[in-house]
Amino acid sequence: MMNITDIANIVGVSPATVSNALNDRKGVSEDTKQKILKIAKESGYFKESTINNTQKSIRFIIYKKHGLVVSDTPFFSSLIEGIENECRNQGYHLLISHVYHSECEDIINMVHADHSQGLIILATEMSLDDLTSFREVSIPIVLLDSHFKGEDFDCVLINNMDASYKATKYLVEKGHRQIGHLHSAVFINNFNERKMGFRDALYDCKIDFNPQFDFFLEPTMEGSYRDMKIQLEKDDIKLPTAFFADNDIIAFGAMRAMKERDIKIPQDVSIVGFDDMPFCEITSPRLTTIKVFKQDIGGAAVRRLLYNIEFGRDRITQKIEVNTELMIRDSVLELKSSI
């Protein structure tokens, strides 16, 4: 049985575009819409997903502030798939909307008009101020992939600090003492928490962090490649023996730039990424990284939201952190020295 993500992959569009087409919303060309409807009919999608005015629905808002982190990557496709599968299992229809900061009032009006029972908001690129428009929404809300201190919103996210601590500790156990950070030049809460876990691991292992090894790169494939090239062209450049990268995309771009300068991985520099994107298995070398259970996180957000829908908002809010797994591959070299 096909789902929205399957249809999106066949047509070559985002899951949000498929959702908009299936729900006859604006923003989809007629040609693309007809392709989507044709595949949906042929696959039997409507047999399981026929919508009527009484069907229960929740809306997933993909919030974009700048779009440098939230994009059509395998990471976010897996999150959406996890949300959609759990909605289907629970008898809810999923509505997906891409929303930029300037469009918040429009989406809130849409929510009130379409009678959605609850909202899941992808809060990856959100700041505290961006929550303002959602404070007066009268239906339950769950924030996905971020949280904000002191705020009474339910949220489901990655256990970022423990994950980056685990990755850094692994580098130390492999004998590395000069460990750098391939840090996102764009601030989001996830990356900041990964920085804290990284620094905590160094502190606990009695290793001083060298600011010279803190490289700030744009968190896109081309941006991280470009920014790493600029770093490597500096006359006084000094590299550590290993890097922890905020995510796999940053790691991929940096690896490409280093290879062009004949810097061998892992012989010259070891790298650990974060996310476990599919490309990790086909890079050369294969990337050691933190595996994030993306579909499980999406499913957990749906279950928390449905609990709130059933029992109301007058209860204790929860911050649910999902643990990760270190995937050991080929991008880390073991040095002879040990702790």
* Local confidence pLDDT in tens for the 339 residues of the chain: 567 778 888 888 877 788 777 766 566 888 888 888 888 877 766 554 544 445 688 999 999 888 789 887 888 889 999 999 999 999 999 988 888 876 666 666 666 666 788 999 999 999 998 888 788 787 899 999 999 988 889 999 999 999 999 999 999 999 999 999 999 999 999 999 999 999 999 999 999 999 999 999 999 999 999 999 999 999 889 999 999 999 999 999 999 999 999 999 999 999 999 999 999 999 999 999 999 999 999 999 999 999 998 887 567 889 999 999 999 999 999 997 544
What pLDDT does residue 157 have? Answer: 97
SS3 call for 42: helix
pLDDT at 24: 62
Give the per-residue pLDDT at 73: 81
∠ CA 220-280-327, nearest 5°, is: 120
Set out the domains of the chain in order of their start, with CATH numbers: 4-157+294-321 (3.40.50.2300), 160-292 (3.40.50.2300)
Contact 133, 108 (CB under 8 A): yes
Please report the DSSP string for 283-312 in residue order. Answer: SSSPPBEEEP-HHHHHHHHHHHHHHHHHH-
β-pair type (214-217, 179-184): parallel
Side chain identity at residue 67, one-letter code: G
Burial of 167: CB neighbours in 10 Å, binned 0-12, 13-18, 19+: buried
Helices and strands: H and E segment counts in the chain: 11, 12
Give the integer Cα–Cα distance in Å for 112 and 172. 52
Pull the structure tokens for residue 164.
């980056």
Distances in Å between the alpha carbon of 237 and those of 107, 213, 214, 229? 47, 9, 12, 11
292 and 167 Cβ atoms separated by less than 8 Å? no
Q: How far apart are CA 195 and CA 187, in angstroms?
A: 11
DSSP lists the bridge partners of residue 59 as 95, 119
Q: Determine the Cα–Cα distance for residues 246 and 194; give it in Å rounded to an integer.
A: 7
What values do phi and psi take at 309, rounded to 5? -65, -40
Other CB atoms within a 10 A radius of the CB of residue 151 amount to 13
CA angle 101, 107, 109 (to 5 degrees): 135
Q: Yes or no: say if 252 and 285 are a contact pair by the CB < 8 Å rule.
A: no
1 DSSP assignment: -
Q: Tell me the C-alpha distance between 289 and 164, whole Å.
A: 10
Written as one letter, the residue type at 99 is V
Q: Which of 40, 6, 9 is nearest to 22 (CA)?
A: 40
What backbone phi and psi angles, to 5 degrees, belong to 159? -80, 80
H helices of the chain, in order, are 4-11, 15-22, 30-43, 45-49, 74-90, 104-114, 160-173, 189-204, 221-232, 248-260, 294-311
Contacts of 66 (CB under 8 A, 6+ apart): 125, 186
Q: Looking at the whole model, is its pTM more than 0.75?
A: yes
What token pair was written down for 338? 């040990």
Query: How confident is the model at residue 256, as a pLDDT?
Result: 97
